Each structure stands twice: as structure tokens, then as C-alpha cells.
Structure 1
Amino acid sequence: MKNTNMASPLFGLFCASFIILVAVNAPVGDAEEIKVGDDEGWRVPGANNSAMYSQWAARNRFVVGDSLSFEYQNDSVLVVDKWGYYHCNTSKPISAYNNGNSVIKLDRPGLFYFISGTPDHCKDGQRLILEVMTLRPISQSPPSIASPPDPYVAVPPSPSPLSSSGVVTSMTLISVLMALLATLVTLVWCAP
């Protein structure tokens, strides 16, 4: 017997559309809590290692939703602006933490600046700058034609395509699988 009720196919189409919409907007993975300084924690770097936190930040990748865990004793963590970071200025922090185990959520893309609340510690290298990125799907449009690079302008090296492609590929694969599932559900739902 043929299905003459139009509500059933429309409901199936609605369900499929909803599943696709959820798949496209779903977060790719769980946010991470990353311990600043790894085993060293948040402390004054040794005399010969004032770039300790810059090197640590370069080894890690930060995305919106991640959190930083600062573990320390007899110190504090200040979130500051760019000027406060470069001048070790503790007078006007954006936020301040002093409980010995502070977790700070990275809630937006862009640069974040952290310094010790003790000015001498900051001047000795206990400060951290890092960039937080958002995850974006792979663009399907062709690349734009750019002008040739100026040989007198320093350009930072591009990140390795292997470092982030796995996450984006996973997100694309999940979206495709969800779209296929939605199509299958629609076909089964609308079958006579």
C-alpha cells in the first residue's frame, strides 16, 4: 500500500536536516586541561632558561575551550594585556589568581598574556604568551592568488599541515558520516 500521508516524508526530511545541522556545528573533540610548564609547573625559570615558557607554548597547540592549569607555591598568576606582559606590570591585571592551583579557561581566539604576580619573577622569565585558535572546517573554495612575497619582510614559518590536519579531517569525516546517516534515516522513514 502506498503512503499518501505527506507528514511522514516532511518529518523525515526535517529529521535529516536537523541531524546534518547538528553534525556541522558539533564540537570536534573534548576540551583539554593543559598543565602550564608540564612537570615544572608555574615557577621562576632557571638562570639559563628564561625562555622556558615560550618554548613550552611553542610545543603545544591551544584551541578555544581548552583550559590552562597553573600549579605553583607562594606566587600568583595574572592575566594581563600586551603592555602589562612586556613591562611586567602587575598594577592592572585583567584577572588575578593566587590559590596555588588555578585553572583558566581559554574562551576566545587570539593572544593571551600571563605573568607572575611577583614583578621580579616576571622579569626573570616567569611569563607566558600564547595564541588560541578556533577549529574551522576545510574550505572548499579554491585558494586565492596572492602577490609574490616581499623578500625584505620576515614571515613566520607556516604550521605543518600534519599538525592540525588530523583534527579537521576528523571533523569533516564526522560531518560526512552524519550526513550519510541522515540520508539513510530519511530514505527508511519515507519508504512506502
Structure 2
Amino acid sequence: MVQAARDFEVSWPVANTAAAAAAAAAAALPKDTPSVTHLGIDETRHGKARFRLVEAPDGGEIWEVVADRWDVGQVDLVGGAGLLGQVEGRTAASVSAWIGAQARQWRAGVQVVAIDMCTVFKAAVRDSLPHVSTWWPQILAAITTGVTNTASEGINRAIKTDAFIFTRIYANPL
């Protein structure tokens, strides 16, 4: 715990409280990931990245990432299971590792993966779930309407709501 506090440059009580909260959250997760047919993958940014100076293989010094500023969440889009998992780092390797840690039967049950236009997620899905179709709501909205980027936000929400029969009207009014 002391080393974690040093790495993140926080006091021991702060590190201990964070570790206790993480342990409680992990205990609340089901032992096995619930089966899904429609998987959603998206990133969330929090805080800033943390680095430390370490010795490089050539004897010099390089910066090593201690804490990434990105987390990637995996969610059940239609079954009601909600958040299935979360991994640190917005890399194909981290997403592929989470998918690979799931049971073979779970991976075989996934039919569709919805991602944003992020090649990292596309690579992870292509490598880990080659049998699924990848769905990009933004591209569908652009094809359907001919409108892209900021102008299509309301249209994207309407298409997602129509496709998955859910909405958060209070948070995303059209």
C-alpha cells in the first residue's frame, strides 16, 4: 500500500481508501460475466496520465506510464446486465485481454459489437471476436442522413434509441 501511495503521489490514507473501494467494487461484480448478444465498447477519460522516469534498455532514461488516463468499459447493450467490465488503457491489447479472459461460450454468444469510430476497438474486436459484426452508430447515421460530426448528434441518439430501445431523455434531450 505504501508503494502504491508513492507511485501515485498521494498519502497512505488516500491510497488505502481507494484500495478498499476497489476491493468492494470487485466483490460486487458477478463471478462470471453475464452472457450477452450485443456488446458495447467505449472509452472514458479521467484525470491525467501519470508517468515515472525509469532506466531504458540502452542505459538511458525513459518515461513509463504508471496510470493511464483512459478506461475502456464493456457493456451489455440489450440484456440489462449493464457494465460488464472495465480495463485501464485505450489499447487493443487491453480490450483483447478482457475479451480473451471471458469463457469461450461467452465469446461465442456475442453477435454484434457496437463501438465508436476507434481503430483500436476495431482491431481488438477483429482479433478477439472474428465472428461478430461490428456496428458503428456514427457511420450508420452518416449513411442514413448524409450528416456527420456535431450536426448528427441528435440523429445518432435517435438511431441508437430506435435500435436498442433505451434512452436517457433527462440527460440527452433531442
TM bucket, shorter chain: under 0.3
Structure having greater relative contact order (Cα 8 Å, sep ≥ 6): 1
Of Structure 1 and Structure 2, the greater strand share is in 2
Larger Rg belongs to: 1
**Normalising to structure 2: TM-score of the pair?**
0.25
